[in-house]
Amino acid sequence: MPPLVIDRFPLKRIIVQSQWWKTILLVCLGIFIISFDHGFSVAVIFFIALISLLDGVAAPVSAALVPQLVPKEERMKANGFLNVITQTIFVAG
C-alpha cells in the first residue's frame, strides 16, 4: 500500500471502505457465478483479483491500527491474536 494513501486518509476509513468494496465485489461475483457463462469467466477472474487486492489493502492497515488501539504492554498479544484470526479466515476461505 503506497504511503500516499495511508498519509492522505484515516486508517479506519481505508479499512472500512476496503471491506465495503470487498463485500460488493463478493455479491457481484456470486451473481456472476449463479448465471455463469463462458463469456463471464474473465469477469469472474477480474472480481477475484480485485477481492485479493482489497485483502492486500486491509491486512497492513489493520496491522497499523493495532498500535493506535492497544496499549504498549498488550501489543504483542494483540498482534498474535490478529494474525491467528487472519490466518484462520484465510484457511477457511
Per-residue CA distances from 13 to 6, 25, 28, 48 (Å): 10, 18, 23, 23
CA-based max dimension of the chain: 54
Task: Identify the burial level of 47 via C-beta atoms within 10 angstroms of its C-beta, where 0-12 means exposed, 13-18 middle and 19 or more buried.
Answer: buried
42-64 residue pLDDT tens: 778 888 899 888 888 888 888 88
Task: Tell me which residue of 76, 71, 65 sits closest to 12, measured CA to CA.
Answer: 65
Rounded to two decimals, the pTM is 0.72
Phi-psi label, residue 9: left if phi above 0, alpha if psi -120 to 50, beta otherwise: beta
The per-residue pLDDT for 28 is: 87
